[in-house]
A = this chain, B = another copy of it.
Amino acid sequence: MNELEYIGYAAGFITTLALLPQAIKVIRSKQTRDISLLWIVFMIIGIFLWLCYGYANESLPMTIANAVTLLLLTVILLFKLRFK
């Protein structure tokens, strides 16, 4: 693995983990007013496509990262729909 690959893995790891504090904040506060529903919906569609792309390319890191992101986005969506 060359240096560039490490940057890619770090980027994927950080952008995936980024959603964790957002999901925790939503779960704790039950407040979602300032979060755009369109952002959540577009992200779920886009990340689902990334998941298919990673899976089809047999990229385990992409598949895992996007599956985790999809899970966190689904939690945020459920809270957005339940607690407006």
A residues touching B (Cβ–Cβ < 8 Å)? Answer: 4, 7-8, 10-15, 17-19, 21-22, 24-26, 29, 31-36, 38-39, 42-43, 45-47, 49-50, 52-53, 56-57
6 extra A-B contacts, CB within 8 A, seeds A7-B49, A25-B39, A33-B33: A7-B53, A10-B46, A11-B46, A18-B43, A29-B34, A35-B35
Question: CB-CB < 8 A to A24: which residues of B?
Answer: 36
A32 and B25 alpha carbons, distance in the complex (Å): 13
Majority secondary structure, A binding face:
helix
Known: A14-B49, A34-B25, A34-B26. A56 touches B19 (CB 8 A): no
